[in-house]
Structures are given as structure tokens and as C-alpha cells.
């Protein structure tokens, strides 16, 4: 069922696969950018819900819990699928967008100013 991992699958492949999934079900009319943005938020809330009532634990413990990891993977996949669907609808180049945003953040948060400091103690460069 799973074809390959992150090292083998391109963003373009994921975009095409999600577009085919939507097209095969004739859901394009339901996948308006507004609905997709709402769905991203809903799925993000479902991811938060997984962590809502559990104590903060080391990530190693989380990774060892198969049931917890399965739930996290499913919700994260839902979020990513809707994000890719939104990119498809608005013809957004995700790679360009992500890399551009990283560059903006690198300018706003230069390493010497932020390294080792919690975010709430940092004032971004305008």
C-alpha cells in the first residue's frame, strides 16, 4: 500500500495523488479554498486533542507508543492532505512557499539573536 518514504516521494507526486483522489470522487466543487482552510483548522484541533489530557513526556516515549503514534500520524496526514489540496486549488507551489517562508523567518530570527532562547523572549526583526 505505501509506495515509498519521504526520501523517495516528491511534493509533486503528493499533489497529483491528492488531486486524483478528489477528482475520482467528484469532490472538486466541495474543495473550495474556504472549506479546505476550515478543514485544516478542524484537523489541527483533532491533533491537539490527542495531547489535550496527557502529561508532557519525552518524545522518545511518544514514539514508542504505537497507538498514540498511529493517531498522530493519521491527524497529521489529514492536515497535510488538506494543505496540499488547498495548494492544488490555488495553484500554489508548496516548495517555493515553504522555502520562501524559511528565508523570511531566517531574516526575522537571526541565529545570534535567538539561539537557545524561548520564543516568548524574542522580538522579531521587522
Q: Which domains does the chain have, with CATH numbers?
A: 11-102 (1.10.287.1080)
**For 8-53, how does the pLDDT look when each residue is reduced to its tens digit (9 = 90+)?**
999 999 999 999 999 999 999 999 999 999 999 999 999 999 999 9
Longest pairwise C-alpha distance within the chain: 51
CA-closest candidate to residue 39, choices 59, 18, 60: 18
**For 100-111, how does the pLDDT look when each residue is reduced to its tens digit (9 = 90+)?**
999 999 999 999
pTM of this prediction?
0.88
> Cell digits for 9?
516521494
The model's confidence at residue 1, banded by pLDDT at 50, 70 and 90, is: low
Please report, rounded to a whole number, the percentage of residues in the chain having pLDDT higher than 70.
98
| Rg of the chain in Å (alpha carbons) | 18
Amino acid at each position: 500500500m505505501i509506495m515509498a518514504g519521504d526520501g523517495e516521494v516528491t511534493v509533486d507526486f503528493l499533489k497529483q495523488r491528492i488531486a486524483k483522489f478528489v477528482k475520482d470522487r467528484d469532490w472538486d466543487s466541495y474543495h473550495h479554498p474556504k472549506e479546505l482552510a476550515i478543514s485544516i483548522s478542524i484537523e489541527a484541533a483533532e491533533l491537539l486533542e490527542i495531547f489535550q489530557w496527557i502529561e508532557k513526556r519525552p518524545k522518545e516515549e511518544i514514539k514508542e507508543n504505537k497507538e498514540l503514534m498511529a493517531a498522530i500520524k493519521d491527524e497529521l496526514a489529514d492536515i497535510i492532505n488538506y494543505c496540499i489540496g488547498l495548494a492544488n486549488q490555488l495553484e500554489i507551489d508548496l516548495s517555493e512557499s515553504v522555502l520562501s517562508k524559511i528565508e523570511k523567518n531566517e531574516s526575522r530570527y537571526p541565529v545570534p539573536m535567538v539561539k537557545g532562547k524561548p520564543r516568548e523572549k524574542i522580538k522579531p526583526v521587522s
